[in-house]
């Protein structure tokens, strides 16, 4: 019996027939298409086959080649299988072919075939199962898988999936790269087998909890395997396992740690800055905007302005926001808003240095402050405020004021100098003495040209070695005269601004009197030499006369006439000694002021005639013409004293007159009487004219001519005692004229 026969209606109810009937029913009911082919002709087709091929009756199939319903691409493989079966192979592998239905639509069918032999020869039975739907679903599933793995491959996180037994079922490329092992070597292995060292880690514990409790987990852990920080997301999967994403967060961790660290550092710096602001003994004011309308200060800054902590210290804040109850003044004038240091820095970007101003409170109290302000700029260079730091110099300035007063009260010229040796402050006395104007004091210019180099060298050395300084030198006064000063300076090692405090003390008079004392000593010595010489001359002459007299008297007959002459000679020398002694006595009397005038009516013409007469023999002896021209000039004077004056003057004229004529004149001149003695002799150089009237002073013109240097001094003293004047006019080589002017009215 063949399947082909079963298509005929069942006729016999025998057991065999019943079995055949059941088989035939199975074939009829089979959802798979069943065909019997013989000699490439369809001999039988069940209902499922009709449906597969899309025909309504078996007649459309029977007798046709099955190939007519297969897609041409499949013909070759179908034929080859048919051939193999017909050649005796018991079976060929299943394969899937495309069925082209009667209406032209395609269906996919999986076919299995076997050959059989019956009475009519070899035939093939073919079963075709419609797998169109299954293939479509398979394709869809594959596509879905592909899409999932595409996604998983493309994500930046590493991903892997494990099943409920921790077997690795999937991992993407990133996970493969992280774990540095080929994917195929890992799939199918358990996670703990792959990473035994991770099994006890806290990350593993978190994964196990997620698996156990079927809840998502997110955690960060340090992977000892990767040596990096990883962030892990684990989601329970529908299949009972876990889907796990992980990513390297080492960089993020580091950045976060760094951010935290720099935040800490910034905080620490801010704290330090605040500590500095709170402890610095200066007022610090910070403008918070580019108008400086909001100004905050440190504690010192608030206290200085007498304002509460946190107050807006700005003097330009709008009225409601302003706490300031003071005014900022300079030289007694309120500072315009834009020029106040903080405002100038904030509003104009101008740095202000060494600005000194007064904070004047409503109650009149004042603080003097000194400081700097500078603009605050952001990274782009835009002004956004300003900061100012000021110190309270009220007491300092007060103290400086006292020092200044002290400096002004001192009788000395006072000055100060900085560390570089520049003299800054000078007191008024300095300006009074030098005539230099305030702000234009130049101490070097006042130095005597002879002293200058020495003084400057010593000063430079003191500046360099920071030592005290002391030196005597001359300073030019406003009157054009130099006076001697003792310059002293104390070096304050601690200060830079005012290192030296100096004074110049006028020691001129002391110096001059010391000098004149020295000179007086010298003069006295000269005088003693001179005096002993002056005395020796008449004494020698006296001794000679006495010796001559003795010889004469020892003669058997002494000559009376000779004796008289010799005695006259003795008398003359004694007179000379007496005059000398008188002169010395006059000097001591005049010097001691023990001296009185005894005035009486006197005509100077008479006096002059008498004195000239007395000099006649001497003048003639030396061959000097001596002339007198005297008008009667009566008055009240001390006769012997004026005799002495005239005697000195005429004596000098003969002594220094070089035998040229000597003239004496006497006349009245208004209220005065004038006596004049003129010679045409040596004359006196102008630089000595002032000195010759002093005690013991002799001009160098005298040469070998003897003298005590006292005559003119005595003469001037006597004339001045009469209220008169003794003056001289002289030219070297042309002679001298001494003039005595006396008031005539002296009673
Ligand atoms: P003495 O004549 O004893 O030296 P004086 O006091 O009389 O002292 O004079 C002081 C000096 O003045 C003299 O030493 C001399 O140098 C100068 N002197 C005085 N009279 C004349 C004169 N007529 N001509 C030139 N020099 C004179």
CA 543–ligand 1 middle distance (angstroms): 29
CA 509–ligand 1 middle distance (angstroms): 28
Nearest CA to ligand 1 atom 14: 698
Pocket test for ligand 1, best of 656, 688, 708 (most atoms within 8 A of CB): 656
Distance, CA of 134 to CA of 743 (rounded, Å): 167
CB of 656 within 6 A of ligand 1: the answer is: yes
Q: What would the two tokens of residue 628 be?
A: 């007198």
CA 699–ligand 1 middle distance (angstroms): 7
pLDDT tier at 2, thresholds 50, 70, 90: very low
Mean pLDDT calculated for residue range 194-205 = 87
Radius of gyration of the chain (CA): 73
CB of 523 within 6 A of ligand 1: the answer is: no
Q: Return the pLDDT at 572.
A: 86
Model confidence pTM above 0.85: no
% of the chain exceeding 90 in pLDDT: 65
CB of 712 within 6 A of ligand 1: the answer is: yes
C-alpha distances in Å from residue 365, one per residue of 304, 327, 357, 397: 12, 11, 14, 15
List, in order, residues 6 or more apart from 674 with CB less than 8 Å away.
633, 665, 666, 667, 668, 739, 740, 741, 742
CB of 549 within 6 A of ligand 1: the answer is: no
Look up tokens 């004339």; give the residue. 719
Q: b/e string for 543-567 if b means 16 or more Cβ within 10 A?
A: eebeebbeebeeeeeeeeeeeeebe
**pLDDT per position as a tens digit, 548-573:** 889 888 989 888 898 898 888 899 88
Decide if 728 contacts 689 (C-beta within 8 A): yes
Least confidently predicted of 339-353, 358-372, 430-444, 552-566: 552-566
Query: Is residue 131 pLDDT above 80, yes or no?
Result: yes
Nearest CA to ligand 1 atom 18: 652
Query: Is residue 1 pLDDT above 50, yes or no?
Result: no
Q: Return the pLDDT at 5.
A: 47
Distance, CA of 81 to CA of 70 (rounded, Å): 14
CB of 699 within 6 A of ligand 1: the answer is: yes
Q: Which of 689, 683, 728, 679 is nearest to 701 (CA)?
A: 683
List, in order, residues 6 or more apart from 323 with CB less than 8 Å away.
307, 308, 311, 312, 313, 317
* Element spanning 585, H or E: helix 560-592
Decide if 292 contacts 347 (C-beta within 8 A): yes
pLDDT tier at 12, thresholds 50, 70, 90: low
Q: Return the pLDDT at 3.
A: 46
CB of 587 within 6 A of ligand 1: the answer is: no
Distance, CA of 110 to CA of 78 (rounded, Å): 12
CB of 652 within 6 A of ligand 1: the answer is: yes
Helices of type H across 623-638 = none
Query: Is residue 9 pLDDT above 60, yes or no?
Result: no
Decide if 613 contacts 638 (C-beta within 8 A): no
pLDDT tier at 488, thresholds 50, 70, 90: very high
Distance, CA of 672 to CA of 723 (rounded, Å): 11
CB of 654 within 6 A of ligand 1: the answer is: no
Count the alpha carbons within 13 Å of 623 in the hemisphere toward its beta carbon. Answer: 2
CB of 527 within 6 A of ligand 1: the answer is: no
Least confidently predicted of 145-159, 281-295, 445-459, 594-608: 145-159
Nearest ligand 1 atom, CA 683:
25
Query: Is residue 53 pLDDT above 60, yes or no?
Result: yes
**Residues making up the chain, counted from first to last:** 747
Nearest ligand 1 atom, CA 710:
6
CA 500–ligand 1 middle distance (angstroms): 53
Query: Is residue 8 pLDDT above 60, yes or no?
Result: no
DSSP-derived 3-state class of residue 161: strand
pLDDT tier at 16, thresholds 50, 70, 90: confident
Decide if 171 contacts 159 (C-beta within 8 A): yes
Nearest ligand 1 atom, CA 682:
25
Q: Roughly how many angstroms between the first and final C-alpha of the chain, as a whole number?
A: 206
Q: Residue 85, class by beta-carbon neighbours within 10 Å (0-12 exposed, 13-18 middle, 19+ buried)?
A: buried
Least confidently predicted of 6-15, 185-194, 488-497, 650-659: 6-15
pLDDT tier at 241, thresholds 50, 70, 90: very high
**pLDDT per position as a tens digit, 58-91:** 899 999 999 999 999 999 999 999 999 989 888 8
pLDDT tier at 741, thresholds 50, 70, 90: very high
How much is the mean pLDDT over the chain? Answer: 90
């Amino acid at each position: 019996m063949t399947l082909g026969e079963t298509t005929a209606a069942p006729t016999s109810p025998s057991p065999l027939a019943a079995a055949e009937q059941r088989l035939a029913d199975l074939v009829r009911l089979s959802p798979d298409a069943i065909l019997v082919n013989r000699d490439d002709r369809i001999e039988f087709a069940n209902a499922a086959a009709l449906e597969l091929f899309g025909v309504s009756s078996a007649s459309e199939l029977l007798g046709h080649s099955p190939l007519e319903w297969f897609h041409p691409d499949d013909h070759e493989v179908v034929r080859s299988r048919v051939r193999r079966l017909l050649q005796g192979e018991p079976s060929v592998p299943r394969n899937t072919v495309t069925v082209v239905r009667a209406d032209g639509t395609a269906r996919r069918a999986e076919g299995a075939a076997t050959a059989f032999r019956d009475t009519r020869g070899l035939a093939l039975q073919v079963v075709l199962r419609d797998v169109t739907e299954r293939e479509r679903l398979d394709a869809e599933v594959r596509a879905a898988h592909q899409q999932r793995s595409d996604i998983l491959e493309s994500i930046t996180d590493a991903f892997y999936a494990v099943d409920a037994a921790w077997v690795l079922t999937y991992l993407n490329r990133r996970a493969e790269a992280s774990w540095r092992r080929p994917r195929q070597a890992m799939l199918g292995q358990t996670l703990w087998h792959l990473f035994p060292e991770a099994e006890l880690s806290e990350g593993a514990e978190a994964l196990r909890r997620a698996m156990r409790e079927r809840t998502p987990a997110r955690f960060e852990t340090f992977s000892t395997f990767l040596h990096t920080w990883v962030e892990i997301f684990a989601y329970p999967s529908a299949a009972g396992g876990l889907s796990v994403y992980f990513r390297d967060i080492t960089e993020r961790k580091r950045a976060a740690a760094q951010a935290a660290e720099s935040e800490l550092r910034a905080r620490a710096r801010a704290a330090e800055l605040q500590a500095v602001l709170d402890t610095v003994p200066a007022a610090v004011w910070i403008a918070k905007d580019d108008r400086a309308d909001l100004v905050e200060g440190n504690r010192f800054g608030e206290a200085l302005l007498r304002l509460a902590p946190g107050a807006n210290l700005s003097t330009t804040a709008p009225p409601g926001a302003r706490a300031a109850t003071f005014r900022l003044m300079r030289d007694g004038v309120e500072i315009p808003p834009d020029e106040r240091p903080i405002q100038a820095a904030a509003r104009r970007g101008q740095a202000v240095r060494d600005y000194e101003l007064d904070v004047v409170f409503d109650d009149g109290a004042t603080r003097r402050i000194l400081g700097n302000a500078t603009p605050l700029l952001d990274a782009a260079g835009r002004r956004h405020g300003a900061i100012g730091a000021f110190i309270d110099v009220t007491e300092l300035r007060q103290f400086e004021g006292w020092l200044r007063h002290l400096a002004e009260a001192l009788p000395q010229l006072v000055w100060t100098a900085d560390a570089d040796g520049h003299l800054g402050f000078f007191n008024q006395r300095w300006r009074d003495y030098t005539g230099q104007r305030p702000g234009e004091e130049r101490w070097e210019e006042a130095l005597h040209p002879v002293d200058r180099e020495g003084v400057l060298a010593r000063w430079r050395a003191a500046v360099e070695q920071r030592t005290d300084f002391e030196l005597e030198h001359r300073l030019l006064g406003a009157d054009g005269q130099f006076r001697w000063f003792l310059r002293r300076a104390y070096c304050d090692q601690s200060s830079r601004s005012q290192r030296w405090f100096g004074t110049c003390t006028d020691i001129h008079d002391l110096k001059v009197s010391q000098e004149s004392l020295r000179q007086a000593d010298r003069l006295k010595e000269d005088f003693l030499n001179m005096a002993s010489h002056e005395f020796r001359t008449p004494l020698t002459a006296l001794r000679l006369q006495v010796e001559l007299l003795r010889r004469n008297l020892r003669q058997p007959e002494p000559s009376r006439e000779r004796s008289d002459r010799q005695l006259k000679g003795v008398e003359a020398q004694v007179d000379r000694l007496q005059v000398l002694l008188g002169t010395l006595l006059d000097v001591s009397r005049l010097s001691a002021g023990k001296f009185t005038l005894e005035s009486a009516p006197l005509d100077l013409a008479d006096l002059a005639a008498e004195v000239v007469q007395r000099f006649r023999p001497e003048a003639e002896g030396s061959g000097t013409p001596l002339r007198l021209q005297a008008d009667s000039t009566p008055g009240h004077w001390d006769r012997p004293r004026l005799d002495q004056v005239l005697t000195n003057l005429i004596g000098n004229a003969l002594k220094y007159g070089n035998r040229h004529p000597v003239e004496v004149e006497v006349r009245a001149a208004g209220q005065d009487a004038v006596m004049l003695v003129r010679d045409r002799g040596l004359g006196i150089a102008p630089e000595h004219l002032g000195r010759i009237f002093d005690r013991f002073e002799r001009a160098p013109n005298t040469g070998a001519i003897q003298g005590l240097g006292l005559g003119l001094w005595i003469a001037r003293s006597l004339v001045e005692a009469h209220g008169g004047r003794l003056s001289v006019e002289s030219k070297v080589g042309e002679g001298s004229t001494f003039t005595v002017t006396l008031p005539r009215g002296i009673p």
